[in-house]
């Protein structure tokens, strides 16, 4: 049986051999910075731990194993270059400013053409395209007269023109460690041991400082002139949105995610129409990066607890199941804003103190915070909303005290 074949000729980990292409993270000159090389066809060229496409790397591996995809396939990148130019911005050459994505990721084939000519196989970790989007809530905004079609950015049928970019995670381990105040060694050990042994190269290859983690990336949508977002004198609206599939796609009424996202897009369109610009960032951090299984377990625990679902115990139920209230690591989130060269946000469409504080601490000014309009909060989402405001979320209205929080109740599970 084939399963009994000896396996000891498999190379479990690679070793430094001098052929790897250097990466000098934060170097302004791309000829010195060097590309992220994750190719598996020339292992000697690799200068990272992991492979491309975040968690989709596993599907690629399965495709090769199943004989669907030749393992030496090279992407034909003809006609794929960014549909809008982004950067370089001064932030790109600060090694501590951007640590969780590769600022050169969209223009790698152009910026590192010398290495491409040498036959090095590398590929973009960011793709920038243009699209038309159309959301029912934005059509409603047009119908209600809150938005006026201009025939270009926004048409009468609600079509909105955007530039959008998909961004895969690229972690510079020294910078990630610094961001969290730990040593690079502690970070590497934690990532290796606490994933059950994923990527021994985290331990055995301290010379490799870039890691492509198998996690979801982010998408950004820009409204108006994307080049104006780095001009601090031009009004900019921003919403940073963490994925919530149950609301964003299916319209669950237990939270405010999709209504707030739609409101954020409306603010972006309005700001762009007035000569400014807008940016929505969508990050794959389902259920506060705890995942949807934990999220649904917590929903059950909230709704079945003694006394019923209550704003007073909202965070405790997550902590019982998950051990923490939140795993989103907002400390990494501002990287995408710095990639765009943003230095000032005029209207920040979020009530999250964690997001606000992370952005401000990273050196971006926030002039105004825009809460979700009261009428957009679904009935069963009041538990979350009042709990979050009491915990420090931004609001212009009153904040419930401990007694009042116990009065804010959600629906039962079987209603």
CB of 256 to a second copy, least distance (A): 13
Position 403 contacts a second copy (CB under 8 A): no
Give the residue, chosen from 114, 156, 186, 367, that forms a contact with a second copy under the rule CB under 8 A: 186
CB of 30 to a second copy, least distance (A): 19
Position 144 contacts a second copy (CB under 8 A): no
SS3 of 80, please? Answer: coil
Position 305 contacts a second copy (CB under 8 A): yes
User: What is the C-alpha to C-alpha distance for residues 336 and 229, in angstroms, rounded to an integer?
Assistant: 12
By beta-carbon proximity to a second copy, the closer residue of 64 and 404 is 64
Task: Retrieve residue 133's tokens.
Answer: 């989007």
Radius of gyration (C-alpha) of the chain in whole angstroms = 23
Is 328 catalytic? The answer is yes
User: What is the C-alpha to C-alpha distance for residues 174 and 168, in angstroms, rounded to an integer?
Assistant: 18
Position 227 contacts a second copy (CB under 8 A): no
Position 391 contacts a second copy (CB under 8 A): no
CB of 259 to a second copy, least distance (A): 10
Position 37 contacts a second copy (CB under 8 A): no
Part in contact with a second copy (CB under 8 A); list of ranges 26-34, 62-70, 266-274, 385-393: 62-70
Is 3 catalytic? The answer is no
Part in contact with a second copy (CB under 8 A); list of ranges 45-53, 269-277, 349-357, 363-371: 45-53
In the range 360-389, which residues lie near a second copy by CB under 8 A? 378, 380
Position 104 contacts a second copy (CB under 8 A): no
* Marked catalytic residue, from 97, 258, 317, 328: 328
In the range 152-181, which residues lie near a second copy by CB under 8 A? 159, 164-168, 180
Give the residue, chosen from 146, 300, 373, 407, that forms a contact with a second copy under the rule CB under 8 A: 300
Task: Retrieve residue 168's tokens.
Answer: 């895969």
Position 183 contacts a second copy (CB under 8 A): yes
User: What is the C-alpha to C-alpha distance for residues 280 and 350, in angstroms, rounded to an integer?
Assistant: 11
Helical H segments across 66-180, by residue range:
108-111, 113-117, 136-143, 173-179
User: What is the C-alpha to C-alpha distance for residues 92 and 175, in angstroms, rounded to an integer?
Assistant: 13
User: What is the C-alpha to C-alpha distance for residues 63 and 48, in angstroms, rounded to an integer?
Assistant: 22
Q: Which residues of 363-382 are buried (b: 16+ CB within 10 A; e: fewer)?
A: ebebeebbbbeeeebbebbe
Place of tokens 């969780």: 100
Angle at 200 between CA 170 and CA 51, to 5 degrees: 35
Position 246 contacts a second copy (CB under 8 A): yes
Position 41 contacts a second copy (CB under 8 A): no
Catalytic (active-site) positions: 326, 328
């Amino acid at each position: 049986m084939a399963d009994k074949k000896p396996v000891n000729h498999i190379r479990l980990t690679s070793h430094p051999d001098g052929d790897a292409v250097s990466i000098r993270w934060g170097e302004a000159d791309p000829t010195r910075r060097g590309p992220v090389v994750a190719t598996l066809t020339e292992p000697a060229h690799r200068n990272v731990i992991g492979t491309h496409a975040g968690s989709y790397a596993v599907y690629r591996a399965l495709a090769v194993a199943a004989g669907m995809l030749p393992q030496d396939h090279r992407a034909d990148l003809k006609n794929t270059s960014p549909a809008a130019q982004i950067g370089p911005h001064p932030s790109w050459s600060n090694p501590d400013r951007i640590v969780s994505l590769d600022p050169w990721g969209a223009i790698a084939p152009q910026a590192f053409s010398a290495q491409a000519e040498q036959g090095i196989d590398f590929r973009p970790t960011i793709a920038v395209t243009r699209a038309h989007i159309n959301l029912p809530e934005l059509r409603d905004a047009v119908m209600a007269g809150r938005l006026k079609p201009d025939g270009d950015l926004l048409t009468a049928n609600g079509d909105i023109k955007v530039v959008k970019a998909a961004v895969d995670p690229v972690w510079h381990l020294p910078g990630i460690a610094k961001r969290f105040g730990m040593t690079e060694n502690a970070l590497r050990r934690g990532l290796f041991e606490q994933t059950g042994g994923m990527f021994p190269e985290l331990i055995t290859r301290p010379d490799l400082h870039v890691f492509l983690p198998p996690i979801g990336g982010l998408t950004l949508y820009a409204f108006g002139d994307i080049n104006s977002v780095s001009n601090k004198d031009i009004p900019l609206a921003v919403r940073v949105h963490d994925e919530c599939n149950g609301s964003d796609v299916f319209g669950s009424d237990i939270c405010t995610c999709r209504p707030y996202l739609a409101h954020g897009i409306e603010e972006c369109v309005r700001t762009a129409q007035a000569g400014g610009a807008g940016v929505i960032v969508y990050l794959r951090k389902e259920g506060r990066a705890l995942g949807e299984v934990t999220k649904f377990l917590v929903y059950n625990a909230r709704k079945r607890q003694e006394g019923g679902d209550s704003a007073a115990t909202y965070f405790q139920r997550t902590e019982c199941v998950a051990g923490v209230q939140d795993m989103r690591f907002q400390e990494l989130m501002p990287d995408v804003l710095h990639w765009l060269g943003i230095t000032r946000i005029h209207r920040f469409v979020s009530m999250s103190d964690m997001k606000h504080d992370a952005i401000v601490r990273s050196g971006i000014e926030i002039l105004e915070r825009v809460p979700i309009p009261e009428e957009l909060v679904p009935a069963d989402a009041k538990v979350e909303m009042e709990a979050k405001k009491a915990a420090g979320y931004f609001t212009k209205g009153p904040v419930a005290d401990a007694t009042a929080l116990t009065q804010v109740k959600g629906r039962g599970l079987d209603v």
